Amino acid sequence: MYDIQKIREDFPILSRKVYNKPLIYLDNGATTQKPRCVVESITDEYYSVNANVHRGVHFLSQQATNLHEASRETVRKFINARSTSEIVFTRGTTESINLVAATFVDSQMKEGDEVIVSVMEHHSNIVSWQLQAARKGIVLKVIPMNDRGELLLDEYEKLFSPRTKIVSVAHVSNVLGTINPAKKLVEIAHAHNVPILIDGAQSIPHMKVDVQDLDADFFVFSGHKVYGPTGVGVLYGKEEWLDKLPPYQGGGEMIQNVSFEKTTFNVLPFKFEAGTPDYIGTTALAKALDYVSAIGMDNISAYEHELTVYAMQRLKEIPGMRIFGEAEQKGGVISFLVGNIHHFDMGTLLDRLGIAVRTGHHCAEPLMHRLGIEGTVRASFGLYNTKEEVDALVAGIERVATMFG
């Protein structure tokens, strides 16, 4: 049973007020709130364990190392990777993509080679590649979509050429909510002998992900979007690929032996983890993953799906409502505009009613160009949102619309 009241009680922030109104937090696509167990894990570890990992012989260092490495195992299990060698801790999705873009382009690509991305990517999955492209003369090719916000698979197929070296696509769009057919995208890339990165920033909090079943070569996500702390994220990479890629940053942890003549590098995954990792954060991330696992990812998906269907239906009752993203497979992200009301005005006035939504281009300007708009209002759901909150959102939008005549 999905005990929504009990779940909400796990998140202290949900009972606070803003402008003397109960907080209705609908900005989960940007970041999620934290359950008590995650926050407590951070203070507990600082209070009772804190010591730098991997390097110490003393008790605390070993305990901190054990916690850190146990968290890697929790992540491995959560996404069903083969081995913890395939789990690299990073600062988040953005750093994970930059790591792959920099090391892959550097070691695997030549001038004139091509990367395929899609029109609905977050800037982090565009600009990371563009930076490398500019340095080395790499070409970006873009998978288009239809007006419902679904990628055109036929067009995707046509983009492959002998110069295509990698594909990098979002699992779920942070603007449209489209759940892309990741398995199919992987299959098509592999049919062309091309590896593929799946950006799981918006999928990992909402659905079960099995990287072996998905068969993607890289899968990346951020801890803070899945009820974990800010500052930690994950790069999953198949061992065969991580082995082929050179180190990203130099420093402690990532080396085996250093001399002025020759330096050798550490084994996976440490080769990619230069410097002191956020070991407090990785423990807290593991707590967050344990938390959602205890509820059950399938239960979370089913609950959020029902909430999204309800919200879509209620929002469409509002006169002048335009929803961007009506894919058949759609997660709990709803972008909209109402009449001629500017997204910023709508967001600001909803905020005064205690409703937190996001406004703007959502770090997806190329997608805004495709849609022919400057920005949207975006409501994005988490596992603790309710139909009553959707009703409050609808009432809030109607009130703002009335104010604007």
**What Rg, from alpha-carbon coordinates, does the chain have?**
22
Please, which residue, 176 or 390, has the CB nearer to ligand PLP?
A: 176
Residue 203, interface with ligand PLP (CB under 6 A)? no
Report, in Å, the least distance between residue 94 CB and ligand PLP. 3
Nearer to ligand PLP, 85 or 324 (CB): 324
Tokens 């110069």 label which residue?
Answer: 163
Please report, as residue ranges, which positions from 20 to 49 form the binding site for ligand PLP (by CB under 6 A).
Answer: none
Instruction: Write out the catalytic residue numbers.
Output: 363
- Compute the least distance from the CB of residue 156 to ligand PLP, in Å: 18
Instruction: Give me the least distance between CB of 199 and ligand PLP, in Å please.
Output: 5
Residue 348 CB: number of other CB atoms within 10 A?
12
Q: Choose the stretch contacting ligand PLP; rule: CB under 6 A; options: 177-185, 198-206, 262-270, 379-387.
A: 198-206
Task: Point out which span in 20-28, 122-130, 342-350, 373-381 binds ligand PLP (CB under 6 A).
Answer: 122-130
Which structure tokens are listed for 235?
């790069």
Interaction pattern, residues 166-185, with ligand PLP; x per rule: CB under 6 A: ----x---x-----------
The dihedrals phi and psi of 107, each to the nearest 5 degrees, come to -100, -20
Residue 256 C-beta: closest distance to ligand PLP, Å: 29
Site membership for ligand PLP, residue 202 (CB under 6 A): yes
Provide the residue type at 88 as one letter: V
Burial bucket for residue 317 (CB in 10 Å: 0-12, 13-18, 19+): exposed
Give just the sign of the alpha carbon dihedral 203, 208, 212, 214: negative
Which CB atom, from 85 or from 168, has the smaller least distance to ligand PLP? 168
**Are 216 and 76 a contacting pair, CB within 8 Å?**
no
Region of 92-100, 108-116, 208-216, 321-329 interacting with ligand PLP (CB under 6 A): 92-100
Distance CA 154, CA 145 (A): 10
Cβ proximity of 284 and 42 under 8 Å: yes
Considering beta carbons, is residue 85 or 385 the nearer one to ligand PLP?
385
Kindly write out the interface string for residues 205-244 of this chain, putting x where it contacts ligand PLP by CB under 6 A and - elsewhere: -----------------x----------------------
Cβ 67 vs Cβ 279: under 8 Å? yes
98 binds ligand PLP (CB under 6 A): no
Q: Pick one of 32, 84, 118, 124: the residue that binds ligand PLP (CB under 6 A).
A: 124
Is 74 or 174 the residue whose CB approaches ligand PLP more closely?
Answer: 174
DSSP 271: G
- Give whichever of 123 and 244 is closer to ligand PLP, judged by the CB atom: 123
In 192-273, alpha helices (H): 211-214, 239-244
Question: In 164-223, which ranges are continuous DSSP H helix?
Answer: 182-191, 211-214
Nearest residue (CB) to ligand PLP, 28 versus 85: 28
Residue 93 near ligand PLP by CB under 6 A: yes
* Local structure of residue 34 (DSSP, 8 states): -
* Farthest-apart Cα atoms in the chain, separation: 74
Residue 122 near ligand PLP by CB under 6 A: yes
Q: Rounded to the nearest 10 degrees, what angle do helices 297-316 and 387-403 cross at?
A: 30
Backbone angles phi, psi at 167, to 5 degrees: -115, 145
Residues in contact with ligand PLP by the rule CB under 6 A = 92-94, 122, 124-125, 170, 174, 199, 201-202, 222
